Amino acid sequence: MTAGAATRQEGPLALICGGGSLPLTVANAAAARGRKVVLLLLRGVADPALAEHYPHHWVYVGQGGKLRALLRAEGCRDVVFIGTLVRPAFRQMRFDLWALLKVPTLVAAFRGGDDHLLSGVARMFEREGFQLIGAHEVAPDILMPEGALGAAHPSERDREDIALGLDYLNATGRFDIGQAVVVAGRRVLAVEAAEGTDLMLQRIVDMRSNGRLRTPVGTGVLVKAPKPGQDRRFDLPAIGPRTVEGVTRAGLGGLAVAAGSSIVAEPEKLVVEADRAKVFVVGVPTPAQG
């Protein structure tokens, strides 16, 4: 399917941009491969600095009709959803007529977990004749490779913690919650649900300072992996320099992410950051999906 999608890539590529630094990384990678790029920036969510680099339009979350018209006017058939999108606040949303007509679909999508929201939106666009593709298909070089990215490597104990973390994520994937855990000394110390990875890492900092956690500094691993059965076209786990910062602040030994199905934002900066902090960043084989 990846190969099929690749052969169908033609005309300008539309990136519907949420928050974070990933949209620019993906835009640059696609542009470097000779693809014309148009950005559709979600108001209140996308980084305004993105507007400096590529042709763009601002849209509110909920303006499905406007989005559709813009995509058609720009001649884009291939669409990538990229960047973070926590459930938007109502004041950051404007529902146009097209979106309102789709309300039953939207409400159904909202009622489930995040995956349902995204796949519901995806289906709406596909029914309109657009082709939803994954960021990794237009920019395969942003995928995490197997092995260590920087100078540090996980120890044998770290590898045990990584295996336990992957096992946990695999066991809970069907619940459609977060995609990350912190494991140290063969103990799951924190599980990400709705709070996001940054806040979960902050919890490790807090537990260290209130004495609840006595794992030595420099041990423990942040483990991230896609949910089993996750639609990889718009919700791959992503890491970047900020993830490394969070891992360092939490006093962990490093971070492990599923190779081939996680995205690395700003890899050069990430490696500099990891080497300075002496934490490892390692891509590990994705576990069997169960």
Coil, strand or helix at 56: strand
Stretch that binds a second copy, among 75-83, 122-130, 177-185, 238-246 (CB under 8 A): 177-185
Nearer to a second copy, 38 or 121 (CB): 121
Q: Is 93 an interacting residue with respect to a second copy (CB under 8 A)? A: no
Angstrom distance (rounded) from CA 128 to CA 170: 34
Q: How many residues bind a second copy (CB under 8 A)?
A: 37
Nearer Cβ to a second copy (28/172): 172
Asked if 89 interacts with a second copy (CB under 8 A), we say yes
CA pair distance 201, 242, nearest whole angstrom:
11
Taking only Cα atoms into account, the Rg of the chain, rounded to an integer number of angstroms, comes to 19
Pairing of strands 131-132, 78-82: parallel
Which residue intervals of 155-263 are DSSP H helices?
156-172, 197-209, 241-249
- The window from 34-42, 68-76, 186-194, 226-234 that contacts a second copy (CB under 8 A) reads 186-194
**Least distance (Å) between residue 114 CB and a second copy:** 8
Structure tokens of 231? 């639609």
The span from the CA of 198 to the CA of 178, in Å, is 12
Is residue 85 involved in binding a second copy (CB under 8 A)? no
Question: In the complex, what is the shortest distance from the CB of residue 89 to a second copy, in angstroms, rounded to a whole number?
Answer: 6
Distance CA 149, CA 146 (A): 9
> Should residue 188 be labelled a site residue for a second copy when binding is judged by CB under 8 A?
yes
Q: Does 229 bind a second copy (CB under 8 A)?
A: no
The amino acid sitting at 8 is: R
Please report the DSSP string for 64-104 in residue order: HHHHHHHHHHTT--EEEEESB-PPPPGGGB---HHHHHTHH
Stretch of 34-42, 94-102, 110-118, 252-260 lying at the interface with a second copy (CB under 8 A): 110-118
CB of 87 to a second copy, least distance (A): 6
Among 108, 129, 175, 289, binds a second copy (CB under 8 A): 175
**CB-facing half-sphere around the CA of 22: CA atoms within 13 A:** 31
For a second copy, the closer of residues 150 and 165 by Cβ is 165
What does the per-residue mask of binding to a second copy show for 131-170, with x meaning CB under 8 A? Answer: ---------------------------------x--xx--
Residue 132, both tokens: 């939803």
Task: Give me the residues that bind a second copy (CB under 8 A), please.
Answer: 86-87, 89, 111-113, 164, 167-168, 171-172, 174-177, 181-182, 185-196, 199, 203, 206-207, 211-214
